Structure 1
Amino acid sequence: MSAVETATAADTATAAATATTRPATRAATRLRRIRVQRSDAFAALGFTVLAVYVMGNQWRQPATGYLTGSGQDQRMWEWFFALAAHSITHLDNPLGTLLQNYPQGVNLMANTSMFGVSVPLAPVTLLFGPTVTWTLVLTFGLASTAYAWYWFLGRYAVQSRAAAAVGGLFCGFAPALISHANGHPNFVVLPLLPLILACVIRLAHGAGTRTALVLGLLVAMQIALGEEPLLITAVTFAVFALAYFASRPRFAVTAVRNATKPLLIAAAIALVLTAGPLWWQFFGPQSYRFIDHGPMGNDLKALLQFPRQSVGGNVSPGQNVAINGTEENAYFGWPLLALALASAIWLRRLALARAAAVTVVVMCVVSLGAELTIGRNGTGVTLPWSWLERLPLFESVLETRFAMGAIPAIALLLALTVDRAIREKATRVPWAVAFALALVPLIPLPLTTVQRAPAPDFFADGTWRSYVDDGSVVTVPLPRPEDARALTWQVEADFGFPLAGGYFVGPVGPEKKAKYGPEDRPTALLLGSVQKSGTVPEVTEQMRAQAHADLMYWRADVVVLPNGENQRALRRTVQALLGSEPQRVDDVWVWDVRPAAR
């Protein structure tokens, strides 16, 4: 009998006994329920305290702090949050905008705009600013994800609340979530995923239309939070279900028979609720067909090493094999994987444990990409991703992220182990030592935060209004994934002007293949290279003509050069391109190009 079946039988027996007890026994039962509720409250409080600890540096300066590990992602997300609030107050279309990448605009549904949090938290954004919203969302994401998995494991896998707490703790604060907390809230705010799985399990056990309705609503809500985590969870659960039912096909037939019709109802509900936004995402203005990231699989060492932002990573750092600081999607550490293997062997008679072990292996292998890489050296060994990447939707997903599917499976093994160790007193001490050796190195460190530089006075004080009619602002260089500061300046100016360029995902070329940032214009590329090199090029008449054409394309009103790296070289380059001297206005150099760009 599996742990789920055991827990269900225990719940049934308890309910029957309670119905026939004497008043004193009923009073005792009520006291036990109070204690259970108190344990839930302690778990929620503990997860919240840990989330605040991880985000503590950001909370010390919640309106101006900047997570150094985010690159330019924090600016992009704050822009999304601020734009959602702006769209609500101005009754604008929330799915698309011309305020970035002018005049082509941005398809916000085709980007990770997270309407599921940006819209409900719009009052917070309007009152306190998008950085406070950003900090709140990340903190809430860590704590709520941990608690949701704690609830799920306690309801469907284990009887001990302590065991469920261990599993929830790992799900909410696994290395991947701490890494993504630097800049990807869509991979941190994941509390709906265990609720979705709970509904699917209930449907497989014969629940009716009400559960199907709830499932449809939850799926629609998750689409508003992030589609990629939903896809990874669906793949993970499919692997788990196949492994679980492999040894019990009769149960599989019953589960499929029970769930088929309700799942179709849930899918229909979710589709009705999201049809409009999804159409806009895939067929609306500035939609794209796919995005090719190139090889993005995990290095094998990424599975075995400790994460950078952890106790173990601080004491014993390994080779840097991550894609970047926000994509440490594995980094379980060899002690944890050894513990998971030991747990799987100890619990091998449990179908849940066997299925969890298979899921960990499959999702980790998928995350390694098309070719096995060890220490950044290719081995020539072809892996399953070489076939999976050809499938629709999979072609746009970073394969490294499929390692996140192993997180709840590992958590399930940990929870089942604690649950059994609590019942078998003789095993408590050795398992406690093993857990300490495996989990202490993974204790996260607070994320590093710096005080960001304020916006130029030209934007913060509203001086820009004298230079903008109905055209765009062209900053030098233009905002792009490498430098998106102008997005913050636009937010400071309350979206009073559109920006040429930007940081987003949009289509390029007739194939509508996606890239990060706008389709490159020659003048934008030139200015970006000058900022990088500090060398003033020899400006030709052709380059001047191209600059004029690009300004017309952007419908530019003003060209603005703020303080920054290689400012003198940039000023001389723009001066040569435009054939005119700039004006010093507040703390920026300005070229008024309204007559020339018309």
Structure 2
Amino acid sequence: MRRGRRADAAFALGYLALAGYVLSGLWSGGYLVDGGQDQTQWEWFFAVTARNVAGGDFLLFTTLQNHPLGVNLMANTVMLGLSVPLTPLTLLLGPSATWTVVLTLGLAGSAFAWYWLLSRHVVASRAAAGIGAAFCGFAPPIVSHANAHPNFVVLFVIPLICARVVALRRRRRVLRDGTLLGLLAAYQVFLGEEALLLAFAGLAVFCLGYGLAAFCPGYGPAGPEAALPALRPVLGGVCVAALVCVALTGAALVYQFTGPQSYDGLIHGPAGNDVKALVAHAGRSLAGEETVAGSLSMNRTEQNAFFGWPLAVLTIGIVLWLRRKPVVVGSGLAAFTGVVLSLGPEVTFGGTGTGFIGPWRFLSGLPLFESVLESRFTLVTAAAAGILLAVAADHALALSWTGLPVRTLLCLALAEALVPVFPLPLAAGDRAHTPAFFTTGAWRAHVAPGRSLVPAPPPDAGDATALRWQIDAGLGFPLPEGYFAGPYGPDRQGVYGVAPRPTATLLREVRDTGRLPAIGAEERRRAREDLAFWQADAVVLGPHERQEALRDALTRLLGEGRQEGGVWVWDV
């Protein structure tokens, strides 16, 4: 038992060290540049949640962005399950510290949770469990999401959910284990609903494969007559879990889908994995090349496959080798399903459509699934592959001395498959300093309580720097528009941001092109209307590479501004 505890501690520290290595640029004060504006967005979510908790305000809505209409926070990935309990950290050290801690503990904690599941319920060898869990926690898709999406990094609840299903299968305490399953599912709702949906889909496929292997005549040891007694406690526990989960999350989910600024599914085009991406290597893997990975993915935060040829071949070989084990059949079926669904509505190869229709075309219109990026289904594959690696390593380590050649061969195969996907530190760079206008409180002389300050242009997914200014100003004023998920058009389809008003569109055109459009009486009239709609007291132009062009545009719209605290200000 003491040896086991020492092994547990060693793996926990090892995972924490590996997480610190991957995020070393962040710990040294850098900004994760491959995530675009997402780090700023997440820091804003943490800051606003902390402010709401400290002030006793409503946690699910705010008008600090998209003023005066506001933002439905429950319909965004604010991760209340962590942002609320970490409020003291955010208030004490700032949201950047919270962001760093969440990502670090997310990577390490998720890996250790998989280790706990594998070592207690799946394999006998803690070393084998450690290998499989390391892949589950630091697989290429997970590391890619660590650039920008902590909701796909903080996954420690998923292995705990799997453990409750195992407990139900053993028919011990259905009510207790079902209640615990419901509590875990409810908590995961407040960490990431999409991850929970993917996990339940993968777990359902795993259970199907496991059941077929365990109870099919001539294949499983139990036979079909044992299927119903084994299934009954699982179904009963799941029903209890559903009741508990709905009771705890129902009100928040109703607000998410029907409350102010709610939306009906996120708009996105086809986002399937390219077939070549399945066997290529990610940009931040040891054997990866940024240019190759970039050509086969949406962006550097969505490199959702990239397992490499050696790992793909090894995984298939493990399934064929240990096909008599139900856990291998279930994991193999889950891995295969994740790959097939991730290919999207039409299979592509090297960026070219093949004409073959993928199964995703028939699922993409179902409720909840319409908002899922299908390429993320390989997160299911990553977890299943980690389980297969652990089972294979455990089987090899249990061989007697006569099985030494097999053990040696498997060790070499594991090294060949895992060394190329070993993660590299995420790219990090410097962040621009916030102007003194915001950090010294000079803005207070220009913005009355309840009125907004308009950055030029307003923040959006392309440039959310103004959200950082707002954080450094103590969230003392609201901003128009912004970077969040909200409704668009009469059908309330979800988009990132809002339908921009004419003045915002004009300023973004100048920002993006450096060209000054024609500005006359009509544009000035629209500017007055937009400023009135935004309830604006001041327009502010901060440091920008195209500051002169933007200042010329604002001068034509609003007249002469003045410099103060490192920015140009127009009192309106």
Q: State TM-score, norm by structure 2.
A: 0.96
Task: Quote the residue 1:35 is aligned against.
Answer: 3
Q: Distance in 1 between matches of 2:323 and 2:206?
A: 15
Task: Quote the residue 2:266 is aligned against.
Answer: 291
Task: Quote the residue 1:240 is aligned against.
Answer: 206
Task: Quote the residue 2:296 is aligned against.
Answer: 321
Q: Is the 8 A contact 1:199 1:214 kept in 2?
A: yes
Task: Quote the residue 1:436 is aligned against.
Answer: 415
Task: Quote the residue 2:495 is aligned against.
Answer: 515
Q: Distance in 2 between matches of 1:168 and 1:49?
A: 15
Task: Quote the residue 1:489 is aligned against.
Answer: 469
Once the 2 structures are TM-superposed, how far is the Cα of residue 106 of structure 1 from its aligned partner?
0.3
Task: Quote the residue 1:163 is aligned against.
Answer: 128
Q: Distance in 2 between matches of 1:315 and 1:331?
A: 12
For the pair 1:190 / 2:163, whether they are aligned, the reply is no
Where do residues 144-543 of structure 1 align in structure 2 (5 Å cutoff)? 144-206=109-171, 207-247=173-213, 248=215, 249-314=224-289, 317=292, 320-424=295-399, 425-426=403-404, 427-469=406-448, 470-543=450-523
Once the 2 structures are TM-superposed, how far is the Cα of residue 254 of structure 1 from its aligned partner?
2.2
Task: Quote the residue 1:9 is aligned against.
Answer: none
Letter matched to residue 383 of structure 1: G
Q: Distance in 2 between matches of 1:461 and 1:216?
A: 47
Q: Is the 8 A contact 1:303 1:333 kept in 2?
A: yes
Task: Quote the residue 2:14 is aligned against.
Answer: 46
Once the 2 structures are TM-superposed, how far is the Cα of residue 317 of structure 1 from its aligned partner?
4.8
Q: Distance in 2 between matches of 1:356 and 1:117?
A: 30
Task: Quote the residue 1:551 is aligned against.
Answer: 531
Task: Quote the residue 1:585 is aligned against.
Answer: 564
Letter matched to residue 430 of structure 1: L
What secondary structure does 2:17 align onto? helix
Q: Is the 8 A contact 2:282 2:290 kept in 1?
A: no
Once the 2 structures are TM-superposed, how far is the Cα of residue 318 of structure 1 from its aligned partner?
5.1
Deviations 1:306-360 (A, max 9, x none): 1100111059955621111111111111110011011111112212212222221
User: Structure 2 unaligned runs (5+)?
Assistant: 216-223
Task: Quote the residue 2:541 is aligned against.
Answer: 561
Q: Is the 8 A contact 1:319 1:375 kept in 2?
A: no
Deviations 1:266-297 (A, max 9, x none): 11111111122111111111001111211111
Q: Distance in 2 between matches of 1:250 and 1:317?
A: 52
Letter matched to residue 592 of structure 1: D
Letter matched to residue 209 of structure 1: L
Q: 1:84 aligns with which of 26, 49, 60?
A: 49
CA RMSD of aligned residues (A): 1.3
Q: Is the 8 A contact 1:204 1:254 kept in 2?
A: no
Q: Is the 8 A contact 1:245 1:251 kept in 2?
A: no
What secondary structure does 2:556 align onto? helix
Q: 1:99 aligns with which of 56, 64, 69?
A: 64
Letter matched to residue 524 of structure 1: A
Once the 2 structures are TM-superposed, how far is the Cα of residue 56 of structure 1 from its aligned partner?
1.2
Deviations 1:63-90 (A, max 9, x none): xx21111100000000011111111111
Q: Distance in 1 between matches of 2:226 and 2:157?
A: 26
Task: Quote the residue 2:79 is aligned against.
Answer: 114
Once the 2 structures are TM-superposed, how far is the Cα of residue 208 of structure 1 from its aligned partner?
2.2
Tell me whether 82-91 or 186-195 shows the greater mean CA deviation.
82-91
What secondary structure does 2:568 align onto? strand
Once the 2 structures are TM-superposed, how far is the Cα of residue 242 of structure 1 from its aligned partner?
1.2
What secondary structure does 2:356 align onto? strand
Q: Distance in 2 between matches of 1:365 and 1:215?
A: 28
Q: Is the 8 A contact 1:216 1:266 kept in 2?
A: yes
User: Structure 1 unaligned runs (5+)?
Assistant: 1-32, 594-598
Q: Distance in 1 between matches of 2:434 and 2:15?
A: 35
Deviations 1:507-533 (A, max 9, x none): 011111110012211111111011111
Q: Is the 8 A contact 2:294 2:300 kept in 1?
A: no
Letter matched to residue 585 of structure 1: E
Deviations 1:344-395 (A, max 9, x none): 1111221221222222111101001000011111111111011000110000
Q: Distance in 1 between matches of 2:509 and 2:563?
A: 24
Letter matched to residue 67 of structure 1: L
What secondary structure does 1:290 align onto? coil
Letter matched to residue 516 of structure 1: Y
Deviations 1:209-251 (A, max 9, x none): 1112211111111111000000001000111111221241444
Q: Distance in 1 between matches of 2:179 and 2:357?
A: 42
Tell me whether 101-110 or 199-208 shows the greater mean CA deviation.
199-208
What secondary structure does 1:312 align onto? coil
Once the 2 structures are TM-superposed, how far is the Cα of residue 259 of structure 1 from its aligned partner?
2.0
Q: Distance in 1 between matches of 2:477 and 2:192?
A: 29
Tell me whether 564-573 or 181-190 shows the greater mean CA deviation.
564-573
Q: Is the 8 A contact 1:457 1:587 kept in 2?
A: yes
Of all paired residues, the percent bearing the same amino acid is 48
What secondary structure does 2:190 align onto? helix
What secondary structure does 1:473 align onto? strand
Once the 2 structures are TM-superposed, how far is the Cα of residue 573 of structure 1 from its aligned partner?
1.0
Q: Is the 8 A contact 2:283 2:294 kept in 1?
A: no
- TM-aligned CA distance change 1:558 to 1:377, over 3 Å: same
- TM-aligned CA distance change 1:314 to 1:373, over 3 Å: closer
- What is the number of residues matched between the two proteins? 557
